[in-house]
Amino acid sequence: MLKAEGISKIYPSGESMVTALEPFSHTFSPGQVTAIVGPSGSGKSTLLNLLAGFDKPTAGQVIHQTPQQTTNLTQLLEGDKARYRLENFGFVFQNYNLMSILSAQENVEFPLTLLGIPVKERLERSRAMLASVGLERRTGHFPSQLSGGEQQRVAICRALVTNANLILADEPTGNLDSKTGAGILELLLGPAREGRTVILITHDAEVAARADVRLYLRDGRLERVEQREGATV
Amino acid sequence: MQSADLVRLAFRGLTRRAVRTTLTVLGIVVAVASMVIFLSLGEGIRKVFRDELGAVGPDLQVSINGINQSGPPIANVPQSLAVQLEAKSKEYGFKSVTPVVYAVRSGGFDPAQSYLFYTYPAKQGTADIIPNAEIAQGRAMNAADEGKLVAVVGSKAAKNGNFKLGSDVRYNRRNFFKVIGILKESGGFSDSFILVPLTTMQKAQGLEGKVSVVAIKLDDPGSAKAVAERVKKDFDVEAQTQSDFLKILDRAVSVSDAIRFGISLISLIVGGLAVANTVMMGVFERTREFGTMRAIGAKPSFVRNLVLLESLILSVLGGIGGVILGYGGILIVNWYTQNLASINAAALTGRLIGFALLISLILGLLAGLLPARNAGRIAITDALGRN
Q: State the average pLDDT over residues B233-241.
A: 88
B200 to each of B58, B148, B166, how far by Cα in Å?
22, 6, 17
pLDDT at position B114 over 90: no
CB pairs under 8 A between A and B: 79
Rounded CA gap, B258 and B246, in Å?
18
pLDDT band at B386 (very low <50, low <70, confident <90, very high): very low
A101 touches chain B (CB under 8 A): yes
Chain A residues touching residue B302 (CB < 8 angstroms)? 114
Mutate to test the interface with B, among A18, A19, A76, A97 (most CBs of B within 10 A): A97
**Nearest C-alpha neighbor of A84 from the set A63, A104, A103, A101:** A63
Rounded CA gap, B31 and B28, in Å?
5
Res B274: pLDDT:
86
Contact A83 B297 (CB under 8 A): yes
Query: What is the separation, in whole angstroms, between the first and last Cα of chain B?
Result: 30
Q: Which amino acid, one-letter code, is at A53?
A: G
Res B130: pLDDT:
74
Contact A4, A205 (CB under 8 A): no
Percent of chain B predicted with pLDDT > 90: 31
A209 touches chain B (CB under 8 A): no
Res B301: pLDDT:
92
Chain A residues touching residue B297 (CB < 8 angstroms)? 82-87, 89, 111, 114
Contact A11 B381 (CB under 8 A): no
Contact A158 B296 (CB under 8 A): yes
Contact A186, A109 (CB under 8 A): no
Contact A55 B380 (CB under 8 A): yes
Segments of chain A scoring below 50 in pLDDT: 233
Contact A45 B295 (CB under 8 A): no
Mutate to test the interface with B, among A113, A151, A154, A161 (most CBs of B within 10 A): A113
Q: A residues 137-166 near B, CB within 8 Å?
A: 158
Q: Which candidate from B1, B292, B381 shows the least CB-CB separation from A114?
A: B1
Mean pLDDT of chain B: 86
Give the minimum alpha-carbon distance from B354 to chain A in angstroms, rounded to a whole number. Answer: 33
Res B112: pLDDT:
67
Q: Which amino acid, one-letter code, is at B387?
A: N
Least confident segment among A208-217, B107-116, B183-192: B107-116
Give the minimum alpha-carbon distance from A30 to chain B in angstroms, rounded to a whole number. Answer: 20
Res B267: pLDDT:
82
Contact B381 A55 (CB under 8 A): yes
Give the minimum alpha-carbon distance from B288 to chain A in angstroms, rounded to a whole number. Answer: 8
Backbone φ and ψ for B180, nearest 5 degrees, come out as -110, -15
Chain A residues touching residue B376 (CB < 8 angstroms)? none
Q: Which candidate from A54, A79, A93 shows the least CB-CB separation from B301?
A: A79
Residue A227's DSSP bridge partners are: A213
Sign (positive or negative) of CA dihedral B217, B222, B228, B233: negative
Q: Residue B80 burial by CB count (10 A; 0-12/13-18/19+): exposed, middle or buried?
A: exposed
Q: Which candidate from A45, A100, A110 shows the least CB-CB separation from B16?
A: A100
Q: How is residue A170 annotated by DSSP?
A: E
Contact B32, B364 (CB under 8 A): no
Helix axes A78-88, B300-341, angle to 10 degrees: 110
Rounded CA gap, B177 and B130, in Å?
20
CA B87 to chain centroid:
39
Q: Could you tell me which residues come within 8 angstroms of residue A57 by beta carbon, excluding any fewer than 6 positions away?
A: A7, A8, A9, A21, A50, A74
Rounded CA gap, B35 and B270, in Å?
13
Contact B297 A99 (CB under 8 A): no
Give the minimum alpha-carbon distance from B385 to chain A in angstroms, rounded to a whole number. Answer: 10
Contact B297 A78 (CB under 8 A): no
Contact B372, B311 (CB under 8 A): yes
Res B51: pLDDT:
73
Contact A114 B297 (CB under 8 A): yes
Sign (positive or negative) of CA dihedral B224, B227, B233, B234: negative
Chain A residue with minimal CA distance to B298? Answer: A82
Structure confidence by residue, pLDDT tens digits, B132-180 = 778 899 998 988 999 999 999 998 889 888 899 999 998 888 889 999 9
Res A155: pLDDT:
93
Q: How is residue B74 annotated by DSSP?
A: P
Contact B387 A102 (CB under 8 A): no
Contact B387 A116 (CB under 8 A): no
Res B387: pLDDT:
37
Contact B302 A54 (CB under 8 A): no
Domains within chain A, CATH numbers bracketed: 2-227 (3.40.50.300)
Res B108: pLDDT:
65
Contact A99 B293 (CB under 8 A): yes
* DSSP β-ladder status, B115-120 and B193-197: parallel
Percent of chain B predicted with pLDDT > 70: 93
Give the minimum alpha-carbon distance from A197 to chain B in angstroms, rounded to a whole number. Answer: 17
Mutate to test the interface with B, among A9, A49, A144 (most CBs of B within 10 A): A49
b/e for A68-103, b at 16 or more Cβ within 10 A?
A: eeebebbebeeeebbbbbbbbbbbbbbbbbbbebbb
ipTM above threshold 0.95: no
